[in-house]
Amino acid sequence: MLYRKRTLQSQHGEVETPILFPVRNIGKRSTDNTPEYTKEIPDLPTAMVNARAIRQRDTQWQRIQDGHSLRSELGVTDSTIVFADSGGFDFASEKLDTTPKKSLETQEAIDADILGTVDVPLSREVREHENNRRVRENLERAVTASELYTGNSLLFASVHGYDPETIRNGISYLEKHGEFDGYALGSLVPIRTDYKKVTKLILAARRSTEKHLHVYGLGGLVYQPLLLYCGVDSFDSSAFIRSAGNRNYLIPGFGGRELRKIQDLTYLPCACPVCHNRTLNDVREDRDALVMHNLWALTLELRRFRYMIEAGEDIETYLDLRFRGNDVTARAYKIAKQQVRRLT
């Protein structure tokens, strides 16, 4: 097992890793409709935002330019650790319309703690030479950001590749030509059902650097234990919001379940602060409650893993049991375990 326990220090505080960064949809809407959670969940003082989306929301961006803080826009505490990516996922379907300089200016204006470099994701819908071009240009943009940046926030280089060698070579290149506090591995969401490939790419990144390793977009219930097992330091997820929008109820070990299909039940199988004294119908009709439950589900998944580590339990035995009820996740864990054992 490659699990790592570290402390991530930032301008607004420190947090124990591994850690989840919940994705906030600020900028994508006129107001951020994610319920405030940093006061309710004490070990989740984190947020992931899209710097490009914030800048493109004119009225919101003007308020920030006038001195209004991003954290007040989000409704979170001043000590919340904010990771601002470049909005790279948007560029999978839209034309690149930013530069390293412009992205850094935006990330600094919103007082982000972690800055992700400008990146364009890879795609199975384009030719190989186009993906290779994107890999090279993502590296070049990261190096440019390193040359330009003189602030005190943490700079994470966004790294992409569809084979382990490309990931290893990319990180090696960035180590030689830039100065980075960590690396963020992208382009995995579109291939997330190919567990063998995804785990190989993650392990290639993990073995290439001792610096902080973030994985973009895979912090949901299925992947979170696998990321922890493979030594990932942080990850982000919007699954808690998207699932709630579809009235899906996240259950560790089982994934999402559609509440509309459940009728003859009064209380849900969860004792989190949202569910412990509210009926099924109450939670089902309250989107914010469902969002908060789903975020608690992601948090409790992380807490359980940490507890098993601190209790000295055999993690592989725990994960064997954890994934036994779901054929897909059990198969994914088996693949990850085989690969990790070859490396350790």
Around 112, how many Cα atoms within 13 Å sit in the side-chain half-sphere? 28
Question: What is 8-40 written as a DSSP string?
Answer: EEETTEEEEESEEEEBP-BTTBSS--SPP-TTT
Domains in the chain: how many in total? 1
The whole-number pLDDT of residue 335 equals 85
Q: What is the mean pLDDT of residues 329-341?
A: 85
Q: Is 282 exposed, middle or buried (0-12, 13-18, 19+ CB in 10 A)?
A: middle
Residue 184 has pLDDT above 80, yes or no: yes
Burial zone of 176 (CB within 10 Å; 0-12 exposed, 13-18 middle, 19+ buried): exposed
User: In this model, does residue 29 exceed pLDDT 80?
Assistant: no
**Residue 334: its H or E element:** helix 327-343
- Report whether pLDDT(165) > 70: yes
pLDDT given at position 254: 74
Can you give the pLDDT at residue 28? 67
* pLDDT range class, residue 69, cuts 50, 70, 90: very high
pLDDT score for 48: 97
Instruction: Provide the pLDDT for residue 274.
Output: 95
Residue 30's pLDDT band, with cuts at 50, 70 and 90, is low
Band of pLDDT at residue 133, cut at 50, 70 and 90? very high
Report how far apart, in Å, the C-alpha atoms of 208 and of each of 106, 166, 201 are: 30, 11, 11
pLDDT average, residue stretch 229-252 = 93
pLDDT in tens, 83-118: 999 998 888 777 899 999 999 999 999 999 999 999
Helices (H), 128-279: 128-148, 164-177, 195-208, 224-229, 239-245
Mean pLDDT of 49-76: 91
What average pLDDT does the segment 66-85 reach?
93
**Cα–chain center distance at 45:** 14
102, 143 Cβ separation under 8 angstroms: no
| Sheet order of strands, 19-22 included | 19-22, 234-237, 212-215, 182-185, 154-159, 114-116, 81-85, 46-50
> CATH number, domain at 238?
3.20.20.105
Q: 165 lies in which domain range?
A: 1-344
pLDDT band at residue 23 under the 50/70/90 scheme:
very high
Mean pLDDT of 267-291: 94
Residue 143 scores a pLDDT above 60 = yes
Q: What average pLDDT does the structure give for the chain?
A: 92
Report d(CA 226, CA 223) in Å as an integer.
Answer: 5
Please tell me which residue, 303 or 256, carries the higher pLDDT value.
303
Note the pTM of the prediction, 2 decimals.
Answer: 0.95
Percent of the chain clearing pLDDT 70 (strictly above):
98
